[in-house]
């Protein structure tokens, strides 16, 4: 049997495992999924936990091991140390190496906590369950809350260009916190600020969405500092280049994204920590290695929806290779809903970032409903939904 | 109406009868008690009164345990401590004119480095570490994960303890200490490479350096990991110990490497051997240190108190002009006051074990007590899947554990403020006052000479004891000097 190993079991890895199960007959492949966690933390829900509801952080775990094993795949819980593309092996921390014929890498980007002096996970975050829970708890005692978006360390000649790691969660947390504070009649006592290295809010979405976001931020008295360059961080302040210090009782970071250490130590990166993928998500040098999701230099912006689409592209390409079909290249578009609080959402459907100029923005209750529907069905079907992007 | 009257009369009658019965009953009881007090206590319940004068509940329970199992009796959590503990015999000297109390608490620095000579020292936001407690042999997996999460949101480090490697723990902990144990796991190059610091476990306060066999209360996952192997932690110093430090350094060259030892009376001789290995830190586990279950004859009857071990270790390092070796105090620290006292005595950081476990189980114990008759340890300790009890709520445990750490950090800052210090590194013995003669003698605290109400005779006795202690220390040092270099060379 052809041995397939999938590294990572969140949006990218899980969707890859789904398509491998869906497209291939069971006898054709032996699939092994590897992750350090047996459950997936569903990140889009973490913003609600960070916005003052810490208990929600523990309600969005999805049993990925169970999901994969139910489909006849193997699941290995271990830390991935290194990939050896010559020997076609994945080295693990506490087990013998895993051999593969085809490898899918979906291990995401590492948070760059150490790339800004004084920054660390203890300053506050949202990207993992424990960070979101902690931020949600700390918020209850805060008078000034800062949502900080770290920079995205792309390779210099990569296109399209984005300045921030991921700004959408910062807007979501600020809107949700604003609504939550208003509900308690506390809004006037708390200052909310967003800091981003981007020049506009929603830099990946397009001008219509950007204008809407700017308007909503102003309406809700949420301060926005754009084009920020971070100098250093202290426990109660973020210092920007140009001597501006922003005070914060609580800061919540979407950390800098600076690629993957796993790719670096395996010498599989583009020199900047990212997976050098062709339009079919195949490694530029190793044809039997695919890169999917946040780890890929072509996954822009770093969204779960993009990771799912890349998984589809990659597995369909792999299928076409083995069954003499014609694969379709990755054709990206951004589909996202920003939680706005008060039962509202801002739905974005756009390929503006890739120079194609289509952009649709829809604020309202129906957008929030669409997001809830997606979230709950993702949870219900453990990521393997009847209709996959 | 007549019916109500009859019922009323019945109630009054019943009440009167009850009062009369109670009076008679009380008199009978009083007579019985009086008789009991006057009778021979040899076979009556009064015997307990005499037993409890000599026996503590601890010893009675251990005796019953021995009688029931026929095996070495063990107990979990803290070891036996003479009351008041040595740490409780210390107080702080408040700042008045010189120095002045520090104006604020928020800018008082608690940041600490372990192993400053290492290429990548372990930087902690406060000088408090989560004590090593292993998965399966001590703690449940959920407890380990909660501890790792706490360590990251607080900015301190989590430790593997002697248990097997848990990928999720490593993933959650931003700073992760690998405890290199004498057990059957965690010796692979990969696991060694993953560590942000490595602590070689030679022994601990509650177990000295005896061999430990783990057969009971093992969770399913640990059994799977151990496979056919018996889980044995070997006794004594490993044969290749002197080659171990360079070996670990070759695999993971940048991180601090240290050793954990039980605090012994010949501590200085141990230090002479260990410092010859160019270690980055030494952890000393005092006699107060607890565990998930160690032979009571060891945990309750071996070793010297953490406070005195730290003081002696720091004195020895200073006398040898050895800098850059961090000292970690372990055992018996219950909160910020204890931590600050240990730092003042010479520790660079302090391990906390029981305290953080208690804090984590806050708000969850009530689920256990009424139905299961179990304590907080049932929530946090590993157990066989056969024993059913409610699982730890990780989210709650992390929130309460984090609150405990945040409170401890603030309390440390308050203590430093009252001492007039702006940085935890400035904490020294000058900040301490001995409340008792014992503390004054053992810890050689300068202010102790002014303890009020001391008679001339007791002062003389205490200074004699201090002199004797100094003599003993210097003799031990001389002895260590004579023996250590040769033994180091022989093994190297
Ligand atoms: C707060 C927040 C909110 C978000 N909201 C949205 C949203 O609303 N909509 C949307 O589309 N996107 C959203 N995103 C983005 C989305 O979550 C990411 O794009 C997505 O998680 C990327 O998936 P991935 O599979 O590529 O990588 P990751 O999610 O990073 O998953 C990588 C997996 O690999 C494992 N792994 C990594 N290294 C190792 C190793 N060495 N050993 C073992 N295992 C390893 C990890 O444990 C992890 O499970 C949000 C992100 C955040 C942080």
Residues B234 and B350 in one domain: yes
Lowest mean pLDDT among A177-181, B39-43, B192-196: B39-43
Q: Please check whether residue A36 touches B, CB under 8 A.
A: yes
Q: How far, in Å, is the centroid of ligand 1 from the Cα of A295?
A: 9
Asked if the structure places residue B450 within a domain, the reply is: no
Q: B451 in a domain, yes or no?
A: no
Residue A376: the pLDDT is: 96
Do residues B57 and B51 touch, judged by C-beta distance below 8 A? Answer: no
Residue B156 inside a domain? The answer is yes
Q: Is residue A341 part of a domain?
A: no
**Do A252 and A120 lie in a common domain?**
yes
Q: Is A354 exposed, middle or buried (0-12, 13-18, 19+ CB in 10 A)?
A: middle
The answer to whether residues B214 and B131 touch, using CB atoms and an 8 Å cutoff, is no
Greatest mean pLDDT among A163-167, B45-49, B473-477: A163-167
Query: What's the gap in Å between A108 CA and the centre of ligand 1?
Result: 6
Q: What is the token pair recorded at B315?
A: 């004195």
Q: What is the band of B486 on the pLDDT scale with cuts at 50, 70, 90?
A: very low
- For residue A101, what are the domain limits? 2-36+78-110+259-323
In sequence order, which residues have a C-beta less than 8 Å from that of residue B79 and are 6 or more positions away? B205, B206, B287, B288, B289, B290, B294, B299, B300, B331
Sheet with A250-254: strands ordered across: A223-225, A191-195, A144-149, A250-254
Is the pLDDT reported for residue B471 higher than 80?
A: no
Rg (CA), chain A: 21
What are the start-end ranges of the H helices in B229-385?
Answer: 241-251, 267-275, 296-299, 306-319, 336-345, 354-361, 369-372, 377-380
Residue A139's pLDDT is 94
Burial environment of residue A325 by CB neighbours within 10 A (0 to 12, 13 to 18, 19 or more): exposed
A134 belongs to a structural domain: yes
Q: Which residue has the higher pLDDT, B168 or B234?
A: B168
Mean pLDDT of B19-42: 84
pLDDT value at B489 more than 60:
no
Average pLDDT over residues B432-438: 91
Determine contact, residues A5/A34, Cβ cutoff 8 Å.
yes
Residue of chain B whose Cα is closest to the Cα of A252 = B153
Contact B154 A122 (CB under 8 A): yes
Domain end position, chosen among A235, A257, A279? A257
CB contact under 8 A, B167 and A36: yes
Number of domains in chain A: 2
Q: What sign for the dihedral angle of Cα B367, B369, B375, B381?
A: negative
Whether B405 and B474 map to the same domain: the answer is no
- Select from B380, B368, B381, B347 the least CA-distant residue to B217: B381
Cβ(B314)–Cβ(B272) below 8 Å: no
**Of A83, A84, A189, nearest in space to A141 by CA:** A189
Residues B126, B207 within the same domain: yes
| A217 inside domain | yes
Element housing A253 (H / E) = strand A250-254
Taking only the tens place, the pLDDT of each residue in A44-55 is 999 999 999 999
Number of domains in chain B: 2
Check if A272 contacts B (Cβ < 8 Å): no
CB contact under 8 A, B168 and A134: no
Q: Is A10 in the pocket of ligand 1 (CB under 6 A)?
A: yes
What residue numbers bound the domain in which B81 lies?
A: 76-443
Residue B151 three-state SS: helix
Do A188 and A250 have their domain in common?
A: yes
**A164 in helix, strand or coil?**
strand
Average pLDDT score over chain A: 96
Residue A369 CA, ligand 1 centroid: distance in Å: 23
Q: Is A81 on the interface with B (CB under 8 A)?
A: yes
Chain B residue with CA closest to A123: the answer is: B153
Cα gap B104→B108, rounded to integer Å: 7
Q: Return the biggest CA–CA distance within chain A.
A: 64
- Contacting residues of A for B410, CB less than 8 Å apart: none
Q: Does the pLDDT of residue A340 top 50, yes or no?
A: yes
Q: Is the CB of A167 under 6 A from ligand 1?
A: no
Same domain, B436 and B487: no
Measured in angstroms, the CA of B148 and the nearest CA of chain A are apart by: 10
Instruction: Please compute the mean of the pLDDT values over residues A155-179 and round it to a whole number.
Output: 96
Q: Are residues A31 and A93 in the same domain?
A: yes
B304, B339 contact by CB (below 8 A): no
* Domain co-membership, B370 together with B483: no
Please indicate, yes or no, if residue B5 is contained in any of the structural domains. no
Torsion sign across C-alpha atoms B21, B27, B32, B33: positive
DSSP string across B360-399? HHTTTGGGTHHHH---THHHHB---TTS--PPP-HHHHHH
Locate A21 and state its tokens: 């199960």
The residue with greater pLDDT, B107 or B397, is B397
Residues 6+ apart with CB under 8 A from B56: none
**For the domain that residue B251 is a member of, what is the CATH number?**
3.20.20.70
Helix axes B394-419, B354-361, angle to 10 degrees: 130
Residue B60 located in a structural domain: no
In this prediction, residues A13-38 reach a mean pLDDT of: 97
- Residue B45 maps to a domain: no
Residue A350 within a domain:
no
Any bridge partners for residue B180, and if so which? B200
Angle formed at CA A181 by CA B362 and CA A206, multiple of 5 degrees: 115
CB nearest A122 (choices: B155, B191, B194): B155
Separation CA A12–CA A6 (nearest Å): 9
A119, part of any domain: yes
pLDDT digits (tens, 9 = 90+) for A72-99: 999 999 999 999 999 999 999 999 999 9
Closest CA relative to residue B170, chosen from B160, B179, B182 = B160
> What local confidence, expressed as pLDDT, does residue B372 receive?
60
CA of A304 to the centre of ligand 1 (A): 7
Clarify whether residues B196 and B141 are in a common domain. Answer: yes
pLDDT in tens, A234-247: 999 999 998 789 99
ipTM attached to this prediction: 0.94
Distance, in Å, from the CA atom of B255 to the CA atom of B116, rounded to the nearest integer, reads: 10
- Interface touch B153/A121, C-beta < 8 Å: yes
Do A106 and A177 fall within a single domain?
Answer: no
What are the DSSP calls for B272-286, one per residue? HHHHTT--SEEEEE-
- How many whole angstroms separate alpha carbon B148 and alpha carbon B16? 65
Decide if A134 and B398 are in contact by the 8 Å CB cutoff. yes
The pTM of the full predicted model, rounded to 2 decimals, is 0.88
Question: What pLDDT digit, counting tens, does each position of A189-213 carry?
Answer: 999 999 999 999 999 999 999 999 9
Whether A150 and A242 share a structural domain: yes
A191 and A314 fall within a common domain: no
Vertex B131 angle, CA B286 and B89, to 5°: 40
Q: Would you state the pLDDT for residue A352?
A: 96
CATH of the domain at A94: 3.50.50.60
What is the mean predicted confidence (pLDDT) over B434-447? 84
Phi and psi angles of residue A73, each rounded to the nearest 5 degrees, phi first: -95, 160
Place of tokens 């708000």: B363
At B332, the pLDDT band (50, 70, 90 cuts) reads confident
- CB pairs below 8 Å between A and B: how many? 73
**Statement to judge: residues B460 and B362 lie in one domain:** no
- CB B420 within 8 Å of CB B101: yes
Burial zone of B291 (CB within 10 Å; 0-12 exposed, 13-18 middle, 19+ buried): buried
Q: What DSSP assignment string belongs to A36-59?
A: S-SEEE-GGGHHHHHTT-GGGGGS
Atom of ligand 1 nearest to the CA of A80: 42
Q: What is the pLDDT of residues B254-281, one digit of tens each?
A: 999 999 999 989 999 999 999 999 899 9
Whether residue B333 sits in one domain with residue B389: yes
- B58 is a domain residue: no
* Least confident span in A257-261, B292-296, B447-451: B447-451
Question: Which residue in chain B is spatially nearest to A82 when comparing CA positions?
Answer: B190
Minimal C-alpha gap between B154 and chain A (Å): 5
The reply to whether residue B399 touches residue A133, judged by beta carbons under 8 angstroms, is yes
In a domain? residue A87? yes
**Residue A107 with chain B: CB contacts under 8 Å:** none
| pLDDT given for residue A117 in this prediction | 96
Do residues A259 and A273 lie in contact, with contact meaning Cβ atoms separated by under 8 Å? yes
B432 and B311 within one domain: yes
| Contacts with A337 (C-beta within 8 Å, 6 or more apart), sequence order | A345, A346, A347, A348, A367, A368, A370, A371, A374
Q: Which residues, in sequence order, are CB contacts of A52 under 8 Å at separation 6+?
A: A136, A139, A140, A176, A177, A180
Is B251 found in the same domain as B207? yes
As a whole-number percent, the residues of chain A with pLDDT over 70 amount to 100
Mean pLDDT value across residues B465-472: 65
The domain boundary residue, chosen from A239, A257, A275? A257
Of B149, B153, B167, the CB nearest to A78: B167
B451: tokens are 């303890």
∠ Cα A270 A64 A34 (to 5°)? 40
CB A292 within 8 A of CB A314: yes
Do A172 and A250 belong to one domain?
yes
pLDDT tens string B359-373: 998 988 777 666 666
**Which atom of ligand 1 approaches the CA of A44 most closely?**
5
Is residue B206 scored above 70 in pLDDT? no
Whether A146 and A245 share a structural domain: yes
The verdict on B326 and B473 lying in the same domain is no
Find the mean pLDDT for residues A18-26.
96
- The span from the CA of A17 to the CA of A292, in Å, is 12
For an interface test with B, the pick among A133, A135, A142, A232 (most B C-beta atoms closer than 10 Å) comes out as A133
Residue A303 domain flag: yes
The verdict on the CB of residue A351 being under 6 Å from ligand 1 is: no
Q: Which of residues 227-256 of A touch B (CB under 8 A)?
A: 236
Question: Helix (H, G, I), strand (E, B), or coil: what is residue A104?
Answer: strand
In chain A, % of residues over pLDDT 90: 98
* A41, part of any domain: no
| Residues on chain B touching A78 (C-beta within 8 angstroms) | 167
B329 falls within a domain: yes
**DSSP code, position A152:** B
Q: Are residues B238 and B282 in the same domain?
A: yes
Which one has a higher pLDDT value, A303 or B227? A303
Nearest CA to ligand 1 atom 38: A107
């Amino acid at each position: 049997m052809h041995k397939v190993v999938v590294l990572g079991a969140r949006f990218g890895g899980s969707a890859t495992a789904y398509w491998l199960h869906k497209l291939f007959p069971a006898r054709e492949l032996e699939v092994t999924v590897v992750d350090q966690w047996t459950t997936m933390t569903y990140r889009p829900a973490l913003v609600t936990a960070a916005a003052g509801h810490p208990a929600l952080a523990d309600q969005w775990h999805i049993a990925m091991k169970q999901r994969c094993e139910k489909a006849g795949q193997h699941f290995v819980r271990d830390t991935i140390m290194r990939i050896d593309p010559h020997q076609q092996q994945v080295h693990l921390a506490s087990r013998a190496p895993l051999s593969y014929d085809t490898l899918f890498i979906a291990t995401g980007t590492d948070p760059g906590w150490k790339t800004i002096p004084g920054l660390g996970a203890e300053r506050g975050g949202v990207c993992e369950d424990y960070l979101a829970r902690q931020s949600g708890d700390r918020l209850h005692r805060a008078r000034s809350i800062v949502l900080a978006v770290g920079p995205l360390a792309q390779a210099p000649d990569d296109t399209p260009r984005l300045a921030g790691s991921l700004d959408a969660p910062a807007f979501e947390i600020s809107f949700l916190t604003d609504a939550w504070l208003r509900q308690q009649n506390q809004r006037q006592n708390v200052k909310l600020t967003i800091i981003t290295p981007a020049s506009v809010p929603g830099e990946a979405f397009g001008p219509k969405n950007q204008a809407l976001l700017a308007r909503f931020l102003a309406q809700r008295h949420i301060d926005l500092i754009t084009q920020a360059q971070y100098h250093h961080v202290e426990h109660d302040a973020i210092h920007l280049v140009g001597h501006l210090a922003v005070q914060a009782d609580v800061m919540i970071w979407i950390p800098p994204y600076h690629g993957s250490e796993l790719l670096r130590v395996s010498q599989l990166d583009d020199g900047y920590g990212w997976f050098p993928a062709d339009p079919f998500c195949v490694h530029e040098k190793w044809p039997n290695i695919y890169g999917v999701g946040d780890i890929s230099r072509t996954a822009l912006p770093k969204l779960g929806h993009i990771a799912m689409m890349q998984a589809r592209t990659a597995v369909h390409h792999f299928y076409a290779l083995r069954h003499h079909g014609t694969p379709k290249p990755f054709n990206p578009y951004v589909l996202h809903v920003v939680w706005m609080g008060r039962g509202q959402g801002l739905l974005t459907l756009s390929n503006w970032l890739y120079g194609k100029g289509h952009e649709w923005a829809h604020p309202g209750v129906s957008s929030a409903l669409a997001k809830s529907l997606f979230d709950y069905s993702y949870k219900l079907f453990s990521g393997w939904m009847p209709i996959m992007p | 109406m007549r019916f109500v009257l009859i019922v009323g009369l019945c109630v009054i009658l019943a009440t009167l009868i009850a009062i009369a019965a109670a009076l008679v009953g009380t008199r009978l009881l009083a007579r019985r008690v009086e008789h009991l007090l006057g009778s021979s206590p040899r076979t009556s319940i009064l015997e307990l009164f005499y037993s409890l004068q000599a026996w503590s509940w601890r010893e009675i329970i251990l005796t019953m345990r021995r009688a029931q199992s026929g095996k070495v009796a063990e107990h979990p959590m803290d070891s036996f401590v003479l009351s008041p503990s040595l740490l409780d015999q210390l107080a702080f000297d408040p700042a008045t004119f010189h120095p002045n109390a520090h104006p604020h608490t928020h800018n008082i620095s608690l940041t600490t480095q372990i192993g400053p000579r290492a290429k990548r020292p372990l930087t902690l936001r406060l000088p408090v570490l989560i004590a090593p407690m292993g998965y399966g042999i001590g703690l449940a997996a959920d407890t380990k994960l909660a501890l790792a999460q706490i360590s990251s949101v607080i900015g301190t480090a989590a430790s593997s303890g002697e248990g097997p490697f848990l990928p999720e723990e490593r993933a959650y902990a931003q700073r992760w200490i690998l405890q290199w144990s004498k057990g059957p796991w965690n010796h692979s190059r990969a696991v060694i490479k993953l560590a942000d610091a490595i602590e070689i476990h030679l022994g601990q306060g509650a177990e000295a350096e005896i061999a430990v066999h783990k057969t009971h209360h093992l969770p399913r996952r640990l059994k799977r990991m151990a496979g056919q192997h018996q889980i044995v932690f070997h006794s004594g110093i490993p044969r290749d110990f002197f080659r171990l430090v360079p070996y670990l350094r070759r695999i993971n060259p940048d991180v601090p490497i240290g050793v954990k030892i039980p605090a012994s009376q010949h501590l200085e001789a141990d230090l002479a051997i260990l410092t010859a290995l160019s270690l980055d830190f030494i952890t000393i586990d005092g006699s107060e240190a607890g565990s998930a279950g160690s032979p009571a004859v060891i945990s309750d009857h071996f070793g010297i108190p953490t406070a005195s071990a730290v003081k002696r270790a720091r004195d020895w390092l200073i006398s040898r002009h050895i800098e850059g070796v961090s000292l970690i105090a372990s055992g018996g620290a219950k909160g910020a006051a204890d931590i600050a006292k240990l730092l003042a005595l010479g520790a660079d950081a302090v391990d906390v074990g029981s305290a953080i476990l208690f804090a984590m189980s806050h708000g969850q114990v009530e689920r256990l007590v009424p139905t299961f008759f179990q304590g907080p340890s049932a929530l946090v300790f590993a157990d066989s899947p056969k024993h059913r009890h409610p699982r730890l709520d990780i989210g709650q445990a992390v929130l309460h554990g984090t609150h405990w750490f945040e409170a401890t950090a603030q309390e440390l800052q308050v203590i430093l403020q009252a001492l007039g210090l702006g940085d935890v590194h400035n904490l020294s013995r000058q900040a301490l006052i001995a409340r008792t003669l014992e503390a004054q003698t053992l810890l050689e605290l300068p202010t102790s000479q002014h303890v009020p109400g001391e008679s001339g005779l007791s002062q003389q006795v205490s200074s004699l004891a201090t002199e004797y202690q100094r003599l003993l220390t210097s003799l031990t040092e001389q002895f260590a000097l004579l023996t250590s270099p040769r033994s180091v060379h022989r093994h190297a």
